[in-house]
Structure 1
Amino acid sequence: MLTSSVWIKQDMLIVLPIIGIAITLYIFCSQHKHLLISLLSLEGSVLSIFVLNVKLTLHSTSIFPLIFLTLAVCEAALGLTLLILIVRTHNNDFISSINVI
């Protein structure tokens, strides 16, 4: 009986990051007003992918999770830099006020 509960916990550890990815991608696709919400939802999906990757490669000696986490930190720093630059130039973080062209 104990082993079946261990399998349920193991399956939940794989399902929860997948649910997290789905929720954050839904938030990213549905919220188009503020840049900060978009950046936070992307960061949430990156962290969910990281947790899923660590769970799936738990017993191997892969260096990929460390590289992925390093790139995620660089992505977050670039996103925060862009957010600060946009707020300083446009006085808000509305995506509609940013003219890309």
Structure 2
Amino acid sequence: MLIYLCFMFFCGVWVFCSNRGHLLITLLSLEYIVLVNYLILYYYFYFFDYELCFVVIFLTFSVCEGVLGLSLLVSMIRSCGNDYLDNYIMLRC
């Protein structure tokens, strides 16, 4: 099971590093990495019979991170008109 989770994590990192065109794709790959980290943390705590309170705290922080990313995406689309990262660097919006 750990091998599958590590493979999923590195696939998410690969997508994050290779796709830099849209901000939305970048944010989705970051959310995928956070969800894989959540699964790894959950299985670790469940396997060693720890309390699962930290998993809830981690999930809360990951939701806050997702909301912050979406708010940045909306503000970027409202100011520049699209979410292309290449145009954002050239236009200096």
- Taking structure 1 as the reference length, the TM-score comes to 0.81
| Unaligned ranges ≥5, structure 1 | 1-11
What's the CA shift for 1:49? 0.3
What's the CA shift for 1:61? 1.0
Letter in 2 for 1:22: F
What's the CA shift for 1:98? 2.2
Residue range with higher mean Cα deviation, 71-80 or 91-100: 91-100
| Unaligned ranges ≥5, structure 2 | none
Does 2:81 align with 1:91?
yes
CA-to-aligned-CA distance 1:33-73 (integer Å, 9 cap, x gap): 00000000000000000000000110211421111100000
**Distance in 2, Cα, partners of 1:31 & 1:84:** 20
**3, 28, 31: which is aligned to 1:15?**
3
**46, 49, 54: which is aligned to 2:37?**
49
- Taking structure 2 as the reference length, the TM-score comes to 0.88
**24, 28, 41: which is aligned to 2:12?**
24
Letter in 2 for 1:40: L
Letter in 2 for 1:36: L
Does 2:81 align with 1:82?
no
Which runs of at least 4 in structure 1 moved beyond 6 Å after TM superposition? none
